[in-house]
A and B are shown apart, each in its own frame.
Chain A
Amino acid sequence: MLDIRKSVENGSATVCASGRIDTVTAPDFEKAIKEILPGVKSLTIDFDGLEYVSSAGLRVLLSAQKVMNVQGNMKLVNVCEAVREIFDVTGFCDILTIE
Chain B
Amino acid sequence: MPKRNGLIDLHMHTSVSDGTDSPEELLQAVRSAGISVFSVTDHDAVKAGTVIRGLLQRNADVTFIPGVEFSCQDEDGKYHILGYGFDPEGEAIRRVVDEGHAIRMNKLGIRLDFIRREFGFVFPDEEIDALRRLDNPGKPHIGNLMVKYGYAGNRSEAIEKYLNDPRLENEHVLPRTAIEGILDGGGVPVLAHPFFGSGDELILGEDMEKRLKKLMGDGVQGIEAFYSGFTDKLRAAALRLAAENGLYVTAGSDYHGKNKIVRLAQNGLAEYGEYPQGMRRFLGRFGIES
- Residues in A lying within 8 Å of B, measured CB to CB: 1-2, 22-28, 30, 33-34, 37, 54-56, 58-60, 62-64, 66-67, 86, 89-92, 94-95
Q: Cβ of B196 and Cβ of A55 under 8 Å apart? A: yes
Interface centre among B202, B261, B262 (most CB of A within 10 A): B261
Interface residue B159 (Cβ < 8 Å from any Cβ of A):
yes
With a cutoff of 8 Å between Cβ atoms, the chain B residues found around residue A56 in the complex are 196, 199-200
- Excluding A24-B156, A67-B261, A91-B234, 16 further A-B contacts by CB distance (< 8 Å) are A22-B200, A24-B159, A26-B200, A27-B140, A30-B261, A34-B260, A54-B202, A55-B199, A55-B229, A56-B199, A59-B228, A63-B229, A63-B261, A86-B202, A90-B195, A90-B233
CA distance A30 to B159 in the complex (A): 17
Q: Which 9 A-B pairs have the closest CB atoms?
A: A91-B233, A59-B229, A91-B231, A23-B200, A63-B261, A55-B196, A56-B200, A54-B200, A24-B159
Provide the residues of chain A in CB contact with B289, threshold 8 Å: none
Asked if residues B201 and A37 are in contact (CB atoms below 8 Å), the reply is no
Which residues of A are found within 8 Å of B259, using beta-carbon distances? Answer: 27, 30
CB pair A94–B155 under 8 Å, yes or no, is no
Closest A residue, CB atoms, query B253? A63
Q: Give the size of the chain B interface in residues (CB under 8 angstroms).
A: 30
Interface: B175 (CB within 8 A): no
With A33-B261, A63-B228, A64-B261 known as contacts, the answer to whether A28 contacts B266 (CB < 8 A) is no
Residues in A neighbouring B75, C-beta threshold 8 A: none
Please indicate the chain A residues that have their CB under 8 angstroms from the CB of B254 in the complex.
Answer: 59
11 examples of A-B residue contacts, CB within 8 angstroms: A23-B199, A26-B200, A30-B259, A30-B260, A54-B202, A56-B196, A58-B202, A59-B262, A62-B230, A66-B266, A89-B204
Q: In whole angstroms, what is the CA distance A95 to B231 when docked?
A: 8
Chain A residues lying within 8 Å of B204, measured Cβ to Cβ, are 89-90
The chain A residue sitting closest to B159, CB to CB, is A24
> Using Cβ atoms and an 8 Å threshold, which residues of chain B touch A1?
156-157, 160
Cα distance, A30 to B157, chains bound together (Å): 16
Minimum C-beta distance from A7 to chain B (A) = 19
Q: In chain B, what residue has the closest Cβ to A26?
A: B200
In the assembled complex, B177 has its CB within 8 A of some CB on chain A? no
Q: Does B5 contact A (CB under 8 A)?
A: no
A34 / chain B contacts, CB cutoff of 8 Å = 260-261
Contacts of B199 in A (CB 8 A): 23, 55-56
Residue among A23, A63, A91 having the largest count of chain B Cβ atoms under 10 Å: A23
Q: How far is the CB of A96 from chain B (nearest CB, A)?
A: 9
A91 in contact with B202 (CB, 8 Å) = no
Closest to B197 in A: A55
B164 contacts partner chain A, Cβ-Cβ < 8 Å: yes
User: Which of B156, B195, B196, B232 is close to A27, meaning CB atoms less than 8 Å apart?
Assistant: B156
